[in-house]
Amino acid sequence: MSDTTTATATAVRAETPPAPVWQAPAAKPMLIAGGVLAIIAALLPWATFVLNSGAYPDKATLQFFDAPYLVTGFRLYTALMGIAVLAFVFAPLPGPKRSSRALGWGITGVAVINLLFISIEGGGLGAITAAEGTFAFGSLVALAAGALVLAATLPGPVEPVPTWSLKLPTGMVYGLLLVMFAGLLLLVAWTLTAGGQGGVSNPYAGAEFLSVLAVIAGTVGVVHATGLGKWMSALSDQHKVFSVVVLLIAALALPLTEAGNAYWMTTAANVGVYAATAIGLNIVVGLAGLLDIGYVAFLGIGAFVAANFSGAVAATAFDVELPFLVVVVIAAIVAGIFGAIVGSPTLRVRGDYLAIVTLAFGEIFKKAAQNDIGGLTGGANAIPGVPPINWFGLSFDESLTIGPLELPSGVLYYVLIVIMVALVMVVFANLKHARIGRAWIAIREDEDAARAMGIKTGQTKILAFLIGAMLAGVAGAVFAHKTSTVAYDSFQFLESVTLLAAVILGGMGSIPGAVLGASLLLVLPEKLREFSEYRLLLFGVALVLIMRFRPQGLVPDAHRKAELAKDSSDDATTAEGAR
């Protein structure tokens, strides 16, 4: 291995004149005013009324020198973003206009989120005006600060994202990657624990969590605008094996952080099951372009097969108890067989008609499970009492003590599911870059052209359904043992829609995109419990905004992103020619 590593990007030529950054003469004064107002907003109280046992939130008064408030709180986030805006105005940092715009959206997001909370939970916006002689205009001042920053940065063109060209010793590159993934681990733990356990222990968890998301969105925008994200991504690609190993270790280390409690271990395990299932669906939808809206049935088939061979008393179809690894193999095979059966009609139908076929299969599975056909599903009584996985005398549903470490119950399931997701990701990655993966992509782009090029489209599409169903069957087997009860109502049509949304939201054909999409779709409702009947409305609005501004997905696949960019450029050319 060479002693140095060069990022895959060329530096901007020194003789190239920089793109104009501030188009309006008043842009800089507006940015300075916005940054200063954001800092002032952090020094003002944001709410003075009393909710439940205390003021909303405890950080309503400035206590920067008290440890609990020094490292968290939306007021501190606002102050830091205001300081960052001023830094991009006065310091020669790369990407100033893009970065300031991202920070402006972050400041505005924090202000709007807390204003909405005050309006919903505090009895209206009038509650911000006065209580016991104290005026609370912090959120309004922050909103004005964000508006000023956006007004200064939205008009006119923006500078291109700069590229970095740095030669670093290999050891330093490894150190940077370690720091990056350790920071990612801490970021995940910080996001999950923001405000408490999904509103269970903190009635203000939702507002705190959404504020954290707004700050993260602004920070990600700055990282992208400065070129740092592209550079770190290039380093990670150059050392892919090392990056994957470190990322896996970081995921396994989550129980050692603040998120290492039974609540979040259970939630994270559920996320892992859905992520593995979404990756399987990504083969069918993301690579082959086959719209499957009954995919959750394969997850259910794997779960019921595992329940019947687990030795559960309620499983009357087969009076047998097989080892877990054997059960997983059987569940994958049975789910794959049904996947091939469902995929057979794809020889003659496509598009909307294929979606109807898969929808019908999902409904047939649900009704068959509800009516306990063949005594395989338990009907309305379900199959309770599925025994937990037990390896070497260690039950996976119990807490674990390793020396001085006391890990909560469910941590073993979390570790198992992380390993399962990693293996599923390896399978997906190898298939995507293999000959069969290229054939799927060709069918997705133009099935007729793929057939003309010699691809056996019928067999290839059936193989996509078969492999995707097998991956879902494996996830279903783990799901059955983890939840200990398998019921037909766990595999409703809404679950198929959620899986499909996870694939599209994260990025079709993208491995990390499916994981991120599944994580958001499961974690967001948990963290928004504070808003009760409003949480589904907020959840839907968030999905609409993401799809509006990121149609390619949060972590898009390179091919898919290029296709959408080409479509956009073609549309722009057509519109220009029509003038």
Segment 99-135, tens digit of pLDDT: 999 999 999 998 888 777 766 555 454 444 444 444 5
Q: 485: pLDDT confidence band, cut at 50, 70 and 90?
A: confident
Name the β-bridge partners of 51.
Answer: 54
Residue 567, pLDDT score: 54
Question: Rounded distance, CA 320 to CA 348, Å?
Answer: 40
For residue 69, the model assigns a pLDDT of 35
Please give the average per-residue pLDDT across 371-377, as a whole number.
81
| pLDDT computed for residue 136 by the predictor | 62
pLDDT tens digit string along 168-200? 888 888 898 898 888 888 888 877 776 555 444
- pLDDT score at 145: 95
Report the C-alpha dihedral over residues 245, 250, 251, 255, rounded to 10 degrees.
Answer: 140
Q: What is the pLDDT of residues 205-264, one digit of tens each?
A: 667 777 888 888 899 999 989 988 888 888 888 888 888 889 889 888 888 888 878 888
Amino acid 159: pLDDT: 82
pLDDT recorded at residue 561: 65
What are the DSSP E strand ranges found in 33-141? 50-51, 54-55
Identify the residue with better confidence: 573 or 216.
216
Cite the beta strand spans of 287-433 per DSSP E: 390-391, 394-395, 400-402, 405-407
Per-residue burial over 402-435, b if 16 or more Cβ lie within 10 Å, else e, is eeeeebbbbbbbbbbbbebbbebbebbeebbeee
Check whether 557 has a pLDDT greater than 90.
no
Q: What's the average model confidence in pLDDT over 538-555?
A: 77
Q: What is the pLDDT of residue 186?
A: 85
With CA atoms as reference, report the closest residue to 568 among 546, 544, 550: 550
Question: At which residue do the structure tokens 């602004």 appear?
Answer: 218
At residue 325's C-alpha, the angle toward residues 314 and 521, to 5°, is 75
- Mean per-residue pLDDT for 357-361? 89
Among 473, 475, 478, CA closest to 310: 478
44 in Cβ contact with 136 (< 8 Å) = yes
CA 195: distance to chain centroid?
19
Report the run of H or E that residue 209 belongs to, with start and end. helix 205-225
Q: Provide the 8-state DSSP code for 319.
A: -
Instruction: Say what the pTM is.
Output: 0.79
Are the beta carbons of 464 and 283 closer than 8 angstroms?
Answer: yes
What pLDDT does 288 receive? 87
| pLDDT of amino acid 112 | 87
Tell which wins on pLDDT, 423 or 406: 423
DSSP output for 385-414 = -PPPPEETTEETTS-EEETTEEEPTTHHHH
Q: At a CB cut-off of 8 Å and minimum separation 6, what does 533 contact?
A: none
Q: Above pLDDT 90, what percent of the chain?
A: 16
Here the tokens at position 129 are 């005006």
Mean of the per-residue pLDDT values for the chain? Answer: 78
For 509-578, the DSSP string reads T-HHHHHHHHHHHHHHHHHTGGGGGGHHHHHHHHHHHHHHH-TT-SS--HHHHHHHHHHHHHHHHHHHHH
Give the model confidence (pLDDT) of 505-515 as tens digits: 888 878 888 88
Residue 15: predicted pLDDT: 38
| Nearest-5° Cα angle at 253, 525 to 387 | 70
Q: Kindly state the helix (H) or strand (E) to which residue 167 belongs, with its residue range.
A: strand 167-169
pLDDT digits (tens, 9 = 90+) for 438-474: 999 898 888 889 889 888 888 899 999 999 999 999 9
Q: What is the pLDDT of residue 293?
A: 87
| Residue 2, phi-psi category: left (phi > 0), alpha (psi -120 to 50), beta (remainder) | beta
- Residue ranges covered by each domain of the chain: 22-245, 270-389+409-569
